[in-house]
Structures are given as structure tokens and as C-alpha cells.
Amino acid sequence: MNNRYFDANTPKVAAVVGFYMSAALVMVFVNKAVLNGSPDLPLLFLLLQLLIAVILLHVAAMFITRVEIPKLELGTAKKLTPVVLVNIIGLIFNTLCLRDVEASFFQIARGLVLPLTIVVFSAHTRTVPSIRVGIAAGSVTIGFLLGVAPSAAVPSHVAPSSLSLLYGLLSSLFIAFHAVLIKSSLPYCNNSTIQLAYWTNLGSAIFLLPFVLLHKEIFILEDLIHDSNWDGQVFLWGSVVTGIFGFLLCIAGLLSIKVTSPITHMFSSALRSVIQTLLGVWIFKDIMTVNRASSILVIMIGTIYYTWIKSLETAPPPRKDVDLEAIGNRKREEDSDDGEATVVFGVSEEDEKA
């Protein structure tokens, strides 16, 4: 049977999925390593990442014709202000959350992304999600609550604080807002995700710069440079690496969905979460409890179930294939008395495209 969704080029699919997972893992762990070594420079660290992404987009535009840098117009900037503000606020809370929690717990702290996205989208479109979508959102929420519940197995000095959980909640909320705003913002960028990415990174850097100055992180950096105990190489190279891999992660995510499918992409994301948890325990000596392991598992199951539901809802209706041989035989039997045994069957262009 011919399956148009099957791509025989398995090495290509494996390479893209591996690329996506590798970029995502590098981002999390290098980010965590830098924030552990320079906890007082989160905004400056984020600013450098954004600026590096803008520079890389310019470099890519020099060699790749499909990468087009948009014209900087004030009218367009005003229209894109909401999506840029939501993006940078979400990134700030995301960075602060990663700084204050263990790498293996980060996935749990941001576990409400899916339920909040469903709530925001439903409120925006004034629609009611289906029962199955509600079950998926409820499962993920239960997984989140299971992970954040106090546990005697986690020492108080490493247990996530209420503030860090608030950062994770706000990060998830603004990610949900961002997901809704992207669709309405694309027309202002000629429906180009690359142009929107450029506007978002550049605009976010511009909005973030005053807060870096107000937080006096430039002066903090100057003091750290003169501190013999501070390893500036980790901060410098970590900024460069995460800036590059943040740019690659954007491409990798698009490729993963394009080359495979949303379900395969979600499975690879789930596998990445498991690897991220195991590496967090191994590299940073994070504590893994039964509650946390169960939480990650329940969140993964709920997310995969949601992706499966949406794939069924958006899939084209199944084609009602006709057993031509059976109809032909029956027709010949009906026409046998008249001596007419020739039947012509035609397939319309729409059927060929179905």
C-alpha cells in the first residue's frame, strides 16, 4: 500500500531529529552552566544571546537567498510590538526559572505550557476545547502538580522555591500568549517566519537593554572581571555557544516538523525531556525522586496524547476507496443478459489528489 506520509529516507529523518535534540540539550545545559557560574548576570546573558542571533541572521542572509532581512520600518515595528514584548518577557522568566531550579526539574517547572496555551487560545477564539483536549490538559496539569508537591526526599536547600515556580508559571503563560500572537503577527512580515524571528530578536534586545542597565549588570560584570574566583571564560563562551545553538534550535525545530510530522516531533521532544532529566542527574548531581519521575512521565503522556488528538482533528477525512473489481464483476453479471461486458471507470483529478 502506498503511504504518502512515509519517507523512505530514514537517515535524513534521523539526522534532523538528532540535530533538533542535540541543539535543545546543548542550549539547556550550557545555559544552566553559565547561570550557575554567573547568577547575577541573567539579563546580560540573555541580551548577548539575542544579539548573536541577529548577527547570525545577517550572516545567513549573505549566503542563503531564502533568508531575507526585513526592512526596518516604524509602522511595522509598532504592529509587532505586542509579540516582541510578550517574547522578551517570556524569555526573561524562562531564564530566571532555569537559574533557580535544577536542570532536571526545569521541564516540570514549565509543565503548564500546554494547558495554558489551550486556555489562552480558547479565550482568544471564544471556542470551547473538546473533551479529549480537556483530558490531555488535565493530565499535564496533574503531572505538574505531582512534580511541585513537597517531598521529604528533596533537601530544603535544593527544593524549588515559590518564586522559582512563579517564574516557571509566568514563563509558560507568556509562551502561550506568544503562540497565539505569532499567527496574527506573520502577515506584517510577509508571512515569513525568518523575518518575524529577526524582528523578534532585534526588538527583544532593544527592549531588554534598558533593564540590563537598570539592573546594573554592566557594573556587576566589571566587578566580576576583577574577581579572581570568577571564571569569565564560561560566561563568554557560554554566551557564544548558546547564541549559536539558539539560532540553530529555531531552524532545527522547523526542520523536525517539516521533515517528519508533528507527532514524531513531539515524540522527539519527549525523548529529549527524558535525556535532559538523566543528564541533569548525572552532570549537575540533581536529585530525582519518585514524584519527579512520575511527574515527567505524566506530562509526557498528556502532551503526546494531545498531539495525537490534534493530528486526528486536522487530518483529511479518510478516502472511501471503491472496490472496482467487485463492482465490475457485479456489473458484468447484471449486463450479461444484454451481452454488454465493458465497463469504463474514471478517477477525477480531485480523487487523485486525495
pLDDT for 258-283, tens place per residue? 565 555 555 566 667 777 777 778 88
Statement to judge: residues 277 and 341 lie in one domain? no
Rg for the chain, CA atoms, rounded: 25
Please report where in the chains the cell 539575542 appears, as a residue: 50
Q: Which three cell numbers stand for residue 241?
A: 555557544
Statement to judge: residues 292 and 325 lie in one domain? no
Statement to judge: residues 195 and 243 lie in one domain? yes
Measured CA to CA, the distance from residue 278 to residue 286 in angstroms comes to 9
Please report where in the chains the cell 528533596 appears, as a residue: 154
Say what the pTM is. 0.80
Q: Which three cell numbers stand for residue 318?
A: 479518510
Q: Letter for the amino acid at 61?
A: A
What is residue 322's three-state secondary structure?
Answer: coil
pLDDT for 3-45, tens place per residue? 444 444 567 667 777 777 787 788 888 999 999 999 999 999 9
Statement to judge: residues 32 and 108 lie in one domain? yes
Kindly report which listed range (60-69, 191-200, 276-285) carries the lowest average pLDDT score.
276-285
Q: Is residue 3 part of a domain?
A: no
Q: Is residue 180 part of a domain?
A: yes
Q: Is residue 2 part of a domain?
A: no
Statement to judge: residues 326 and 305 lie in one domain? no
Statement to judge: residues 282 and 180 lie in one domain? yes
Statement to judge: residues 303 and 329 lie in one domain? no
- Say which residue, 161 or 319, is predicted with more confidence: 161
pLDDT for 159-186, tens place per residue? 888 999 999 999 999 988 988 888 888 8
Statement to judge: residues 302 and 343 lie in one domain? no
In the chain, the percentage of residues whose pLDDT exceeds 90 is 37
- Other CB atoms within 10 A of residue 216 CB: 12
pLDDT for 98-126, tens place per residue? 999 988 888 888 888 889 988 998 998 89
- Say which residue, 281 or 324, is predicted with more confidence: 281
Residue range of the domain that includes 332: 321-354
Kindly report which listed range (36-40, 128-132, 288-292, 312-316) carries the lowest average pLDDT score.
312-316
Q: 31: Cβ–Cβ under 8 A, 6 or more apart, which residues?
A: 95, 98, 238, 242
Statement to judge: residues 301 and 327 lie in one domain? no
Q: Is residue 1 part of a domain?
A: no
Statement to judge: residues 111 and 245 lie in one domain? yes
Q: Which of 238, 251, 248, 229 is nearest to 29 (CA)?
A: 238
Statement to judge: residues 326 and 240 lie in one domain? no
323: pLDDT strictly greater than 50: no
Q: Find the mean pLDDT for residues 74-93.
A: 94
Statement to judge: residues 194 and 333 lie in one domain? no
Please report where in the chains the cell 534521523 appears, as a residue: 14
What is residue 315's three-state secondary structure?
Answer: coil
